[in-house]
Amino acid sequence: MVMSRVGWISSLLDRVRERRPLVQNITNYVVMNTTANALLAIGASPVMAHSIDELEDMLGLADALVINIGTLDRFWIESMYKAAEIASRMDKPIVLDPVGSGATRLRTDVSLKLLKNYSITVVRGNYSEMASLIGDSIRTRGVDTSAYSEEGAKKISIDVAERYDVVAAVTGPVDYVSDGGRIYWVSNGHPMLGRVTGTGCIATALIGAFVAVGEPLEATTSALTVFGVAAEKAFEESSGPGSFHMKLYDWLYRVDSKLVMEMARVDWGEA
């Protein structure tokens, strides 16, 4: 991989660390600590704030908003809608993680309402979650996917992007990212990511940091590439899921422009 092909990814990583964007997360109970630590490790500043009473003030300070629907209840749903409305009005980038969409009617309905009624910038999910956003029914197990194909992932990313005027990322063995006109595919990562809870949520949170400092399509692709490189290096030093999780934080902290240049496996073309 020649340096000129991936230099923009390294530049965005450097920009995140220079600017330390404040990323507000309305996320789920399972991953609050995980995603906050990942954002700190990469060089961003996380805030986990969901109280309706402080959304206006907090979003005035934040550089991006991440909404993760992993543990829904009525109060949190109201908070997500309100935050999306405020961030849309303030023209702040919004990243949506439709966790488990397609598994239950509630999750699908909340995801679709957010996409249809607010200015979502990026939506990232696994194969079945993203397929549900365009009405495709794929068997799910909880918040996991039981189906994946590269051609399917490519098509879903393009279809979701076109339907909702967003950048759409379908993550899996190969990540596909599209704005409906262009498409990137990222081959970095490791299967061990599937053996630790919250790694998809980490990817979404990192997208929030990158989209705060860059154009959405390239920022999303960069975040997924950097995360994939960190995962590959973490696996080299781990003996199982527990040590892999710990090393993942270490490598989000240690990954640098040189390593990205050496290891990034990214291609792109017209959608």
135: left (phi over 0), alpha (psi -120 to 50) or beta: left
Residue 49's pLDDT is 92
Residue 244's pLDDT is 97
Examine the pLDDT at 141 and tell me if it is beyond 70.
no
Examine the pLDDT at 189 and tell me if it is beyond 50.
yes
| The CATH number of domain 3-270, selected from 1.10.3720.10, 3.40.1190.20, 3.40.50.11890, 3.40.50.1000 | 3.40.1190.20
pLDDT band at 5 (very low <50, low <70, confident <90, very high): confident
Residue 144's pLDDT is 52
Q: pLDDT (tens digit, 9 = 90+) per residue, 60-97? A: 999 999 999 999 999 999 999 999 999 999 999 999 99
Q: What is the mean pLDDT of residues 217-227?
A: 98
Residue 2's pLDDT is 38
Q: pLDDT (tens digit, 9 = 90+) per residue, 13-37? A: 999 999 999 999 999 999 999 999 9
Q: pLDDT (tens digit, 9 = 90+) per residue, 153-187? A: 999 999 999 999 999 999 999 999 999 999 999 99
Q: Across the chain, what does the average pLDDT equal?
A: 94
Q: Could you state, in order of their start, the residue ranges of all structural domains in the chain?
A: 3-270
Chain CA centroid to CA 255, Å: 18
Q: Percent of the chain at pLDDT above 70?
A: 94
Q: pLDDT (tens digit, 9 = 90+) per residue, 237-264? A: 999 999 999 999 999 999 999 999 999 9
